[in-house]
Structure 1
Amino acid sequence: MAQLDTLDLIVLAILLAGTVAYFTKGTYWGIPKDPYAGSYSLANGAKAGKTRNILEKMDESEKNCIVFYGSQTGTAEDYASRLSKEGSQRFGLKTMVADLEDYDYENLDTFPEDKLAIFVLATYGEGEPTDNAVDFYEFVTGQDVSFSNGGAADEKPLESLKFVAFGLGNNTYEHYNSMVRRVNDALVKLGASRIGKAGEGDDGAGTMEEDFLAWKEPMWAELSEKLGLEEREAVYEPVLSITEREDLDADADEVYLGEPSKHHLEGSQKGPYDSHNPYIAPIVESREVFTVKDRNCLHMEIDVKGSNLTYTTGDHIAVWPTNAGKEVDRFINILGLAEKRHKVISVKGLDSTAKVPFPTPTTYDAAIRYHMEICGAVSRQFVSSLAPFAPNENSKAEMTKLGNDKDYFSDKVSSQYLNIAQVLERVDSSQWTNIPFSILIEGIHKIQPRYYSISSSSLVQKDKISITAVVEEIRIPGSDNIVKGVTTNYLLALKQKQHGDPHPDPHGLTYSITGPRNKYDGIHVPVHVRHSNFKLPSDPSKPIIMVGPGSGVAPFRGFIQERAAQAQAGENVGQTILFYGCRRASEDYLYKEEWEHYKQILGDKFTLITAFSRDGPKKVYVQQRLQENAALVNQLLEKEKSNFYVCGDAANMARAVNDVLGKIISEHRGVSPEKGEEIVKAMRASNQYQEDVWS
């Protein structure tokens, strides 16, 4: 009995230690949440085991304004950084930027009255918080929220909190900007005071940047009035310091040349693999699935065997891209960095809250090639910030005009899809050697992984992930500028290399296919998996209706592949209906032979309904085919509770499908159009209607 008691005590002690480690998110033991954050942050001069008490952090660093961000792709983080700099440079605020997942929020009720919080919140998917904002969102919107002083919601515990809010959303989604709206309502309900309007940017309308600029000026005016701030002439104050290292060569062991983490630098791969730590995966198969010369769609099989990366059918795979050599050269040349592109630099924050966005020491070339989104859209505010560093007065005047004149900027930059190096070239083709590299790191997004719907079934091929990606290319009317998608053209280059293609990209794009230090033997790509709620019903006998034109068919290839395997295993598989559309049956009909194969297996349980928009005599789209099959669709939805799935373009196709479905329900159930729309909304709320869409 004594031995049993001792064993019980040991087990209880272990459970207690694990519980403490979990609820303190590892900080009690000095264990970072990200298993690689320790080596990464130490390389950047940060201390391990940092506090999760935001007020303590603000006091330590003598800050009176904190800008929190909830970001999935980096845009919200960029806006947070811009607000932080502007608050400091224009109004003398002592600002810091904070990732929402880095802190706890039970002590917000003790937030000092003389400090300010700014929330920049992106809405992700169907009205969900971004990954890094989940804990914060669930805390402030929870039914039984409780703060450090025990204040309940009806006691207004956040009366001392003054805040500003801006949201990033997309009006093609039903829950447009729901994050900023719900968080705003929750904070106000808890007694907090919002200063200025809660801003809302709309990516769906393509006005995000202008929405942000239009919101922030009146916000700053009201903030200045409420807090007694005095505006001053904004002068660039670096957040980061750049030191050129004479003591290190580019091939030194401790220099990062594009490696995402310390383990990669040391030549090893260690999981778990996630958005901080990709797996360098071999591409075991790649092929073209279009039959036309001027457009490409890639099918790739990525081997994840032995990595412990797992996925379930319907998930997404993230591909970490590399900038094209042509654009890296353009950027380096216009800045006058060609002679020292391989010079080693150390990047450090100038105060304890500054975040270095990539590993250091590194080189100019590596930072630009692997870490900076140099091909991304350019903001007016960023162009304006570079004006003081122009090579001459004429260039300065032009940059200032671009930064201040919305219509002029749209005509000269936005409509031409120019990246920042192209803007500088067009303003003045001489070298812009006065621009500090620090302002470029601070003002250009960190390059982000791109997410693709997985087009295979985990039941059929658990160790191999399929992706289906149309190679992006935009030809600007009346211009010689051709905009190439960063990631899809990188994948195309990998495919060409794998096949020994004698006809490389006609526009001169080249890539460092073998990776940093040439460590990617064969054809490899950095990846991780993001789990999705876009799922098949757990009961395979339940009918499904899928609408997926173009590459939107990708996840449905995985769905049908899985159902075919289940049927072959003797399971009862329900009706499986796919509405698929493309331009022409002879050019871009994806997986035609595979659908025929699955039809042989599934028989009358599989129905493929096609829409070819350019085969004539009239254009036909999937939403029209949906209407033509209205009776069948309504019967499956109403009588058999079929799941309904849509994947593809959010702005046009997905919205049209949503509208058509409402009409079908209204007409076939004898209810009003408004009631039909309500039923569709209820289907969404219950997950009977699921979307995997993009703008």
Structure 2
Amino acid sequence: HLLNNPHAYAKVRAEVDNVLKGEPIRPEHLGKLPYITAVLQETLRFTPSIPVFGLEAIEDEIVTSEGKQYLIPKDVRILVFVTQLHKDTSVWGEDVDVFRPERMLDGGFERAPANAWKPWGNGARACIGRPLAWQESLIALASIFQRFDLVHNNPSYQLSYKFTLTVKPRDFHIRAIPRPGVPSVFSYSGSRTTVQSPTSSDAPNKENTAENPEHGVDLYLAYGSNSGTCKDFAQRVASETRSKGFIPHIVSLDSIEPAVPTNGPVIIFTASYEGEPADNARRFVESLETAHPGKYAGVKYAVFGCGHHDWKQTYQKIPILVDNVLAENGATRLMTRKEADSGTYEFFDTFDTWVPELWKALREAYGGRLHATSDEGAEEKLSIQMMETSRAAVLKRDEATSIGKVICNRLLTAPGVPAKHHIEIELPEDMHYEPGDYISILPRNPEENVSRVLSRLNLLPDQNILIKSKTTTTLPIDKPVSVWEVLSGYVEIGQTASRKNIQGLIKVAPEDVKPKLADILDHFKEDVIDKHLSVLDVLELYPHIDISLSSFLSLLPAMRIRQYSISSSPLWDATRVTLTLSIIDIPNESSGLQNKFLGVASNYLARVRPGEQVQVGIRSSAATFHLPEDPSVPVVMFAAGSGIAPMRGFIQQRVEQTKSGRNVGKMVLFYGCRSSDQDFLYAEDDLKEWQELGFLEVKPAFSRKTEDSFGCKYVQDRVLYDKELIFEYFLAGAKFYTCGSPPVANGLKETLIKLIKLHHADWDDERLARRWESIQKERLATDVFAYFCNREPLALLVFLLFVSAHCCY
């Protein structure tokens, strides 16, 4: 719970440091740790280790619950479920499903009724050792926090339970990083042990770095990343460190908190996710918000910030916060913070042009301490030895993944329209999810693209190679691996080329080709970005460019994990998930090329067959993008295309609740597609069956057959047509969810602003923004997607619609 709640984590550590003051814990300290005591009390309330205990009525008893009376006859035995007992809102407040130790402070625990907190059991058979266990827990927690910084060993771990005599977390591992200048772990003599600044398991090791320079300056490349982009940027900088005289350490931001290293520069790569830090940067950001003057004295740093311009209110929020707080509290800024906009075609080029500026700043700051070797070029950084025999390679990826099995894969759409698939995957044991969560997929490149590379470079697919690298790499090194395996699973062959890629090709191109490549650079957006032109495409357009496999691989980014919204509910089957996805298959617009632009993960998944294994993981969505705990709360959903995925999971959850006899609130789905007979997903099976249960309405908008949807072409048109229904749901306290592409957002913006202005001509932008912000926290959850991530616009528009609804009624 503390690892998932950085604010509480920071309070525990601050209390330990203030009370113990660097000394080993002593008996007199135990009464001075009120917050740790509250943490233990809240932990046992939130997740009691005893799930149930029994009682027996000694006489006939009438009890009242939720306004109803029940007779419990004498001698009848009843079971008390402790988890439910501890979630009594009349005792603990409405936020009983939130881990909040503060509820136990200032007499909060003492004021609770005697029988409201029963984690030890009840009566004479309650835990006999609870006083000793309580004291041990206080000592252990304080001692551990004094000596170590704690991080998730697996950041994507989902809490699951092991039931024996008591309840325990299953397969939960924590990584402990020694804190500098703390008492010895094994001695209570009061002596001090100094340790180096912490590094995480992400730091380079012998598996992914063949050799490190013996002398050099430590360079900390710290990332906050959910999707992997910032981590990839850190790895790309690390690949150049040997020739620059630095020793790279690739670490997550949480792993360098609170002891931010001072023995070398710290380069920070981080992004904002709707104004929040990445999962592996939450505790670091929490510590920044409680920083004090001088805390970061001696730290030298630079920040590379990622964001998307459509998130106007929170664009670059976290990078700006990190940069400002470090500078204001004693750290030295090595260079001006760089902003990269993932919503523009220059995103990767911004990084490529920033890297030389970074090396220049580092040379100026550390020039006297560097022992750089010459820049040996890509050919010497990556050497390849052809092998005589074949040997299967094991795919490695530092992201945590497990093995799932494909159960079914079916096409949902008619011929002639963009394909969409429904895929069912059996999850590994102990992997759990909730409706609204994501499944992570580690894909492989389309076979067509791999074959194109083999043909262009004159290679055989089963040829074994041995890769050696003098820098950090994500390729499999020092063991035989087939060319096909490397090209299929370790690099992004179809990645759109960057300016740096084209500049690299110019260096090795024949003289008559160089002007043509230079012209591509001059018209980069039109010739490369708009046409999705990859490095492979360029090599096929200019077959006289002579390039080796090692140089080709050095131009490509590492294979990334993709995330898809889960389209099922665990109440349907807790061991399986379903995906609903669009297949990206776009004709190439470059003359001279016959191939298509193929989405890596979508084409990979489109071709998996029942029985095949895929590498998967579960990632929780934002806390707001889950169904209300109370199933009677009405729900309104907006979706288009494969954006129906999480909505299908939400609906299926309530379908299963209905089948079990529970009363569920009404749901309405506004859904956009081309026509009822081409791509109205699930219309003739699931949606038809579920509407018959009585709680679901579906309001489609057909862009190619508007006559079948009351003249409504898009989702926003159908919303406008059924605005009275929207108002009705809003006033009934409904929760609203959106999932779709940017065109959905842009269309809603145009339509809804007209509606708002019609009813509220006197409202200015400031008033609209205030109302939007006040509703956002409680009523709307968004997951707007596309080629380029885009969530904010649709969220704004739906909130504004809510404003209009509220004031009209």
**TM exceeding 0.5:** yes
| Corresponding residue pairs, total | 602
Cα contact 1:323–1:370 (8 A) shared by 2: yes
What is the rounded CA distance, in whole Å, between the counterparts of 1:611 and 1:294 in structure 2?
16
Partner of residue 494, structure 2: 375
The residue number in structure 2 matching 1:507 is none
Partner of 1:77: 231
Q: Distance in 1 between matches of 2:750 and 2:733?
A: 19
Any unmatched runs of 5+ in structure 2?
1-127, 152-174, 179-184, 186-199, 789-809
Q: Does 1:118 align with 2:267?
A: yes
Identify the residue that residue 162 of structure 1 maps to in structure 2: 300
Partner of 1:107: 259
1:460 aligns with 2:579: no
C-alpha contact (below 8 Å) 1:258/1:371 kept by paired residues = no
Equivalent pair of 2:210/2:468 in contact (CA under 8 Å): no
Question: In structure 2, what is the Cα distance between the partners aligned to 1:457 and 1:4?
Answer: 41
Aligned to 2:769: 677
SS of corresponding position for 2:681 = coil
Pair 1:300–1:107, CA change in 2 (3 A): closer
Q: How does 1:235-274 map to 2 (within 5 A)?
A: 236=377, 240-242=381-383, 244=385, 249-251=389-391, 257-260=393-396
Deviation (angstroms), 1:322 = 1.4
Q: Is residue 297 from structure 1 mapped to residue 420 from structure 2 by the alignment?
A: yes
1:334 to 2:482 alignment? no
1:556 is paired with a residue whose SS is: helix
Note the 1:658-669 alignment, pairs <5 A: none
Shift of 1:286: 1.9
Q: What's the offset of the Cα at 1:207?
A: 3.0
- 1:214, 1:659 → 2: CA distance? 37
The answer (yes or no) to whether the contact 2:736–2:781 under 8 Å persists in 1 is yes
Deviation at 1:441, TM superposition (A): 4.4
Distance change in 2, residues 1:642/1:676 (3 Å): farther
Deviations 1:569-610 (CA, angstroms, capped at 9, x unpaired): 332322211110001222111111222211110x2x322111
Match of residue 722, structure 2, among 620, 625, 629: 629
Distance 2:572 2:528 in 1: 47
Tell me if 1:136 matches 2:284. yes
Counterpart pick for 1:201 among 340, 344, 350: 340
8 A Cα contact 1:283 1:524, kept in partner: yes
CA distance in 2, matches of 1:377, 1:552: 25
Q: Is the 8 A contact 1:297 1:471 kept in 2?
A: yes
CA contact (8 A) 1:550 1:582 kept: yes
CA distance in 2: counterparts of 1:288 and 1:116, whole angstroms: 52
Aligned to 2:600: 486
- Return the offset for 1:14: 7.8
**Distance change in 2, residues 1:275/1:210 (3 Å):** closer
Q: Aligned residue for 1:51?
A: none
Superposed, which structure 2 residues align to 1:219-618 within 5 Å? Answer: 236=377, 240-242=381-383, 244=385, 249-251=389-391, 257-260=393-396, 275-279=399-403, 281-304=404-427, 307-336=429-458, 338-339=459-460, 342-350=463-471, 354-358=472-476, 360-363=478-481, 364-390=483-509, 392-395=510-513, 399=517, 401=518, 406-429=521-544, 431-433=546-548, 437=550, 439-477=551-589, 479=591, 480-495=594-609, 522-533=611-622, 534-593=625-684, 594-601=686-693, 603=694, 605-616=695-706
| Larger deviation, residues 362-371 vs 661-670 | 661-670
Alpha-carbon spacing, 1:68–1:43, altered in 2? closer, same or farther (3 Å): closer
Aligned-pair distance for 1:425? 2.2
Letter in 1 for 2:267: I
CA distance in 2, matches of 1:244, 1:22: 42
Indicate yes or no: 2:780 matched with 1:688: yes
* Equivalent residues of 2:210, 2:469 under 8 A apart: no
Distance 2:690 2:216 in 1: 64
> How far did 1:21 drift?
7.5
Q: Give the corresponding residue for 1:149.
A: none
Scaled by the length of structure 1, the TM-score of the pair is: 0.75
For residues 66 and 427 of structure 1, do their structure 2 counterparts lie closer, same or farther at Cα, with a shift above 3 Å needed? Answer: farther
Aligned pair partner of 2:176 in 13, 23, 26: 26
Question: Please, which runs of 5 or more residues in structure 1 have no aligned partner?
Answer: 30-35, 48-56, 146-152, 262-273, 499-521
Q: Whose Rg is larger? A: 2
Please tell me whether the aligned partners of residues 454 and 460 of structure 2 are also in contact (alpha carbons under 8 angstroms).
no
Match of 1:184 in 2: 323
Rounded Cα–Cα distance in structure 1 between residues aligned with 2:353 and 2:303: 14
Cα distance, 1:483 vs structure 2: 0.9
Percent of residue pairs identical: 25
Q: Return the structure number with greater relative CO, CA threshold 8 A, min gap 6.
A: 1
Is the 8 Å Cα contact of residues 581 and 610 (structure 1) preserved in structure 2? Answer: yes
CA distance 1:276–1:653, change in 2 (3 Å): same
Measured in 1, the distance between the counterparts of 2:580 and 2:330 equals 49
Q: CA deviation at 1:61?
A: 5.5
> Quick one: structure 1 residues 283 and 573, their matched pair in 2 at CA, closer, same or farther if it must change by over 3 Å?
same
Deviation at 1:486, TM superposition (A): 1.5
**Alignment root-mean-square deviation, CA:** 4.0
Q: What is the TM-score of this pair, normalised by structure 2?
A: 0.66
Find the residue that maps to 2:424 and give its secondary structure. strand
Q: Distance in 1 between matches of 2:265 and 2:559?
A: 30
Relative distance call for 1:129 and 1:687 in structure 2 (3 A) is farther
Change (3 A) 1:4 1:366: same
- Mapped to 2, the partners of 1:587 and 1:178 lie a distance apart of 42
1:528 aligned partner, one-letter code? G
Say whether 1:645 aligns with 2:737. yes
Shift of 1:478: 6.3
Aligned residue identity for 1:191: G
